[in-house]
Amino acid sequence: MKARELRELSDEELQSKEVELKDQLFKLRFQHALGQLENAMKLRNIKKDIARIKTLLREKRKGTE
């Protein structure tokens, strides 16, 4: 997911997206541990998306202070 797309979302939408991605990351890690994960790049991409969301949330909080 691109940062441009994420910037258009509200804080609540970003937080719900973060929770959704964390859940997905947990499931993928479980599959990876069992040796059932087809594409390991999914893990990396989801981690990066979570980091982008956290960065945007932090930027928005700093902007309001």
Q: Tell me the average confidence (pLDDT) per consecutive run of 10 residues in the chain, 65 residues long.
A: 87 95 96 92 96 94 76
Structure tokens at 58: 């932090």
Model confidence, pTM: 0.88
Domains of the chain and CATH, by start: 3-60 (1.10.287.310)
What is the pLDDT at residue 65?
54
CA distance 53 to 6: 7
Q: Please, are residues 46 and 24 in contact by the beta-carbon 8 Å criterion? A: yes
- 50/60 Cα distance (integer angstroms): 15
